[in-house]
Every structure is written in C-alpha cells, then in structure tokens.
C-alpha cells in the first residue's frame, strides 16, 4: 500500500534581519551579540575613556602574609609583644592564641615601609602596644557579655577578650567616647571625625601619593621620579 502524501504547513518567511543561513546568524543577531560581547579591541577602546583615573586592585590578605618581610615582622613581634605585655604599666592583658595572627596583622606595616623589617617592627610594636591598652579597658565589658551568653571563664582568668577584634585603637577611642555617655565628648568626637573626613577628601591625592612614596622609598620607581 502506498502511503498517503501529506502537505506540510506553510512556513512564514523570516524577516531579512533574522533570515536563517547555515552556520551564520542574521545581521540583527550579530549586532546584538556584538553589543553584549564586544571584541577585545573595542573593550580596550572603551577603557581608554577612563584614562587619568587610578584603579586599585584588591587581593586576598594571604598574598601579603606569605611575603618574607611580613612573616619576619610578625614573628619578631611575638616575643617583643610578650615582653611589653609583662612590663607595660596598667596593662591587664596577656595575648596568647592571637599571637599566631601577628604576621597577618603586620601586612600594612610591611607595605608602607617597602618591606623594611626594622621600620615594620617598630610601627607594629607601637600599634600593638596601643591595642593592649584598648583590650585592658574593654576586657571587663567583653567578659561580661561572654558570661551573659553562657561562656565559661577559666578559674585562673580574670577576664577574656579578643586581641584581633579589638586591634583598632582609633575605633577604640570612638567607642570610649560613646561609652562615657557624656554628650560633650560624643559631640566632640563626631565633629572631629567629620573634620578629619573632609580634610582627607580634600587632600586625598596628596595623602595617597605620600603613602605610595613611603611604600616605594628606595625602589627604582622613586629614584627615577
């Protein structure tokens, strides 16, 4: 038996811009694809419009921790910080577990000194000493909160705190102002904050150039400039 012939439905012609062709997209599709995914040359041309702007690439802190100057600075600060903690008048904190984080906390000092270990160590010890004062002051509040949530304090410990979390003397000073509850002190600190903020915004380029010169001091880039 011969099969009965069937008629397929008529297919409407496609618009010229969308006409199908084997292995080739229509003009409209090509323009849309080009707009969404411009070729490298066009992307480079577009990036030239931002000429004159500075771009800062942020990387993971692990990149800085592995640098020789950073590791050396952090390791040198461990015995020095312990010596300071034992001899500093008024200090009530002895860093223990947080000592292993000193290399990661020393990244900024190694960067701003262009890897100069002596400068990095001096800056780090000064900063870490200020942190001891912050921890000594905030420690009782930190301990009270810990007890309130059920943390068991060792019998031979007077208080607990986190050296890493509290390692921000500038923010600690602001915290102390609000902790005092004195409206005049709070208003003075808030006013000082905005004054310093606007001064930084006004002299942002000069501040950044100074930091970069300090970070590159002694390198070929600074000598050439």
Tell me: the pLDDT tens digits for 159-200? 778 777 777 777 777 788 888 888 998 899 889 889 989 999
Q: Is the pTM of this model over 0.75?
A: no
Predicted confidence (pLDDT) at residue 37 exceeds the cutoff of 70: no
SS (H, E, C) the chain: CCCCCCCCCCCCCCCHHHCCECCECCHHHHHHHHHHCCCHHHHHHHHHHHCCCCCCCCCCHHHHHCCHHHHHHHHHHHHHHHHHHHHCCCCCCCCCHHHHHHHHHCHHHHHHCCCCHHHHHHHHHHHHHHHHHHHHHHHHHHHHHHHHCCCCCCCCCCCCCCCCCCCCHHHHHHHHHHHHCCHHHHHHHHHHHHHHHHHHHHCHHHHHHHHHHHHCCCCHHHHHC
Predicted confidence (pLDDT) at residue 44 exceeds the cutoff of 70: no
Predicted confidence (pLDDT) at residue 3 exceeds the cutoff of 60: no
Task: Return d(Cα 176, Cα 127) in angstroms, integer.
Answer: 18
- What average pLDDT does the structure give for the chain? 76
If pLDDT is split at 50, 70 and 90, which confidence band does 126 have? very high
Rounded mean pLDDT of 114-137?
A: 90
The CB-side HSE value for 167 (13 A sphere, CA atoms) comes to: 17
If pLDDT is split at 50, 70 and 90, which confidence band does 123 have? very high
Predicted confidence (pLDDT) at residue 27 exceeds the cutoff of 90: no
The partner residues of 24 in beta bridges, in order of sequence, read: 21
If pLDDT is split at 50, 70 and 90, which confidence band does 41 have? very low
Rounded mean pLDDT of 89-98?
A: 86
Backbone angles phi, psi at 115, to 5 degrees: 80, 10
* Contact (Cβ atoms closer than 8 angstroms) between residue 70 and residue 110: yes
If pLDDT is split at 50, 70 and 90, which confidence band does 76 have? very high
pLDDT digits over 134-154, tens only?
888 888 888 888 888 888 877
Rounded mean pLDDT of 36-54?
A: 52
The partner residues of 21 in beta bridges, in order of sequence, read: 24
């Amino acid at each position: 038996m011969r099969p009965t012939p069937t008629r397929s439905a008529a297919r409407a012609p496609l618009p010229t811009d969308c006409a199908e062709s084997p292995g080739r997209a229509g003009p409209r599709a090509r323009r849309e694809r080009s707009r969404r995914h411009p070729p490298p040359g066009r992307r480079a041309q577009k990036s030239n419009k931002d000429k004159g702007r500075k771009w800062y690439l942020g990387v993971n802190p692990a990149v800085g921790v592995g640098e020789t100057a950073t590791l050396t600075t952090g390791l040198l600060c461990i015995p020095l910080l312990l010596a300071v903690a034992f001899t500093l008048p008024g200090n009530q904190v002895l860093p223990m577990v947080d000592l292993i984080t000193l290399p990661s906390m020393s990244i900024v000092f190694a960067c701003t000194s262009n890897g100069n270990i002596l400068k990095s160590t001096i800056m780090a010890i000064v900063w870490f000493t200020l942190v001891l004062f912050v921890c000594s002051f905030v420690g009782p509040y930190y301990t009270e909160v810990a007890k309130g949530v059920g943390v068991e304090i060792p019998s031979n410990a007077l208080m607990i705190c986190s050296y890493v979390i509290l390692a921000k003397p500038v923010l600690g000073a602001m915290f102390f102002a609000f902790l005092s509850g004195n409206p005049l002190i709070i208003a003075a600190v808030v006013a000082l904050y905005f004054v310093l903020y606007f001064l930084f915004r006004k002299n942002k380029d000069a501040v950044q150039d100074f930091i970069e010169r300090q970070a590159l001091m002694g390198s070929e880039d600074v000598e050439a400039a």
